[in-house]
Chains A and B, each alone.
Chain A
Amino acid sequence: MAFTDLAARFPQAVFRTSYGQDVVRVERGDLVAFVSAARADGFDFFIDLCAVDYLTRRPHRFELVVNIVSTKQESRLRILTGIPGGDPVAPSLTGLYAGANFYEREAYDLFGIRFDGHPDLTRIVLPDDWQGHPLRKDAPMGSVPVQFKEADA
């Protein structure tokens, strides 16, 4: 679908089509403004927010992925934002979509990305006193070695 309006307002945003899906990459500083403009443009349905750890494969270590949907136009938009590993802070979208709350808490819990402006940034799926962020690529799986003893005769 034509995002001419949004593309005009955000010239640095890179639009592309990936496997038939609309994807846009924005800078971290533009994220809130872009999502706000998209929401005003009809993207009223908040679907998903997650993070990916790319280690050294991308210019920024983390990537925030936001999925929103326009019910009127029945279309989806996926917004990608790079978050540097040395400064894992992202702006919070809870002011725009109430549903971003739990998703941002989960990204904080599992990746350690802090969200500026989040009302209650605490661990959500792990115990409150957990140390570390397990879904980061440098965090161990935490497997327990399994021994296979020789069967007795």
Chain B
Amino acid sequence: MSDPPDMVTGNTEAPSGETQEAAPVGGAGEERRRRHDLWMSGTEVPPDLGRYTDEGSQEMLEHEDAGMLAEQWGTLVSDDYLEDPAASDEETQIVNMGPQHPATHGVLRLQVELEGETIRRAKPIIGYLHTGMEKTAERLSFLQGPTNVTRMDYLSPFFNELCFSLATERLLGIEIPPRARAIRVLMTEMNRVASHLVWLATQGLDIGALSMMLYGWRERELFLDFFEKVTGLRMNHNYIRPGGVAADLPDGWEEDVEAILAAMPGGLADYEGMLTENPIFIERTQGVGVITPEECLAYGVTGPVLRAAGVDWDLRKVAPYSGIDQYEFEVVTGQHGDTYDRYLVRLEEMRQSLAIVRQVAESMPAGDYRSDDRKVTPPPRARIDESMEALIHHFKIFTEGFKVPAGEVYEAVESPRGELGMYLVSDGGTKPWRLHVRGPSFANVQALPVLLTDSLIADTVATLASVDPVLGDVDR
């Protein structure tokens, strides 16, 4: 069928754009309206809407039906969607996302008030993963502390352990040997890459690039194998402890690191090829979830979200820890503070971290992997058979724990999500009096309404993935 018959009028002649006998505006229009009203009232008379001419089109727009029909027929091209002023009473709808939801990155509950597809208000409700870690920490000794805090931000366990160890060491006032510091930097920067890979996988998955999910985990397995070789566990390692690290790096670690460094650039190039120039990805992430630097500072938002908004703030440069200032790397910042910028920032951060890993691997100092202060670090196992003192130290450290002088300190590191801080109060005993963890995701989730208001509901998923919250951090 080339031209559909005029079903409404019953004319079998195809409607054309030619000017037929131009019906006088007043009379024919009125007639049309009368017949239309008859039709609407249920009588059988079909409305004669006349020829769809240019002159008649103005009258036809008076009838909504006529306009719509004309659009269907293609004889009338309407403008872009015009706001209907009649729909002024805002009917909003409250929709609940989570806590069990495939795209909320854990058990986050988001209550959004929708007007159509636009979010007018968003309220994050947290607490679904509250584990009482701060209370548990008061019962565990300082040596057992890392086992507790490492499970908090479960995607970057080394950072939790490092922060706790640094806080304890500050209170103890002990020096950490250079090799221990270098090992800490090595493991934490590799952890940063592994964590960003999970972010990349979930960001792609949430936007719809399902293959990104599988590729992200492919590279992560290399890191997890290395972690298992060094620490014994794939996750939640309890490796970085007050005094140093738990054990020295195994033989052959340089080859493993070299293999990872060789495999990563290819992987990253794959991901960039898949996403960075992808028009769908760009459409879904540019201009989405924008936050300004002032809002970031007011809410305490840190990490890649802050840097993507344009603020050059990275604790590794501002307040270096564990000797990380010996290594050369750049702090990556964005400009617009949208999801796309956060994507670019994290991608480049992965490259910078790999550069740090390479520098550490090439310049790893020899020496002790932990402090030799026998009151703090347990003696080597072989010595326990030889020396009574060593046996007693070992016993005391592992049962009672070592005593930490009274004081309070706040220590912060730059975790993949932002500033991870721990406020540690000791009363001179073997267990912390109070451990408060400043989780970066807590502040980032608090800033979610800023990112989500006045955006579309479909953008929630992309924005949430780009903020990269870990609910263990939020709820503790």
Contact = CB atoms under 8 A, between A and B. Distances in A.
Direct A–B touching, Cβ under 8 Å: yes
Interface of A: 18-19, 21, 44-48, 50, 52-53, 57, 65, 67, 71, 74, 76, 78, 97-99, 101-103, 110, 123-127, 134-135, 141-142
A50 B436 contact: yes
A99 B299 contact: yes
Interface in B431-470: 433-434, 436, 438, 442-443, 445-447
Nearest to B124: A102
B255 to A, nearest CB: 39
6 contacts: A19-B170, A21-B409, A52-B434, A52-B436, A102-B443, A102-B445
A50 B442 CA distance: 13
B421 A125 contact: no
A19 B407 contact: yes
A52 to B, nearest CB: 5
A125 B130 contact: yes
Q: How large is the interface on B (under 10, 10 to 19, 20 to 34, 35 or more residues)?
A: 35 or more
B318 A98 contact: no
B425 interface: yes
Contact of A46 (B299, B319, B410): B299
A140 B171 CA distance: 27
A43 B170 CA distance: 25
Contacts of A46: 297-300
A135 B171 CA distance: 23
B127 A124 contact: yes
Contacts of A97: 298-300
A59 B59 CA distance: 84
A134 B132 contact: yes
Nearest to B425: A52
Contact of A125 (B139, B170, B427, B475): B475
Contacts of B408: 18
B218 interface: no
Contact of A48 (B132, B136, B300, B434): B300
Nearest to A20: B170
B135 A141 contact: yes
Interface in B410-428: 410, 412, 419, 421, 423, 425, 427
Given A18-B409, A52-B434, A71-B313, A45 B300 contact: yes
B311 interface: yes
B298 A127 contact: no
B305 to A, nearest CB: 13
A50 B443 CA distance: 13
A102 B442 contact: yes
Contacts of A45: 297, 300, 313
A67 B410 contact: yes
B134 interface: yes
Nearest to A98: B298
B127 A125 contact: yes
Nearest to A134: B135
Contacts of B361: none
A46 B311 CA distance: 14
Contacts of B28: none
- List 10 tightest A-B contacts by C-beta distance, closest first: A99-B300, A125-B127, A99-B299, A50-B436, A125-B130, A48-B438, A102-B446, A98-B298, A46-B300, A52-B434
B421 A67 contact: yes
A97 B311 CA distance: 18
Nearest to B445: A102
A87 to B, nearest CB: 21
Given A74-B318, A98-B298, A67 B438 contact: yes
B175 to A, nearest CB: 14
Contacts of A48: 300, 410, 421, 423, 436, 438
A135 B132 CA distance: 8
Nearest to A47: B300
A18 B424 CA distance: 13
Contacts of B443: 99, 102
A45 B311 CA distance: 11
B268 interface: no
B126 interface: yes
Interface string B369-411: 0000000000000000000000000000000000000011110
A128 to B, nearest CB: 9
A19 B409 contact: yes
A19 B409 CA distance: 7
B127 A127 contact: yes
Interface string B280-303: 000000000000000101111110
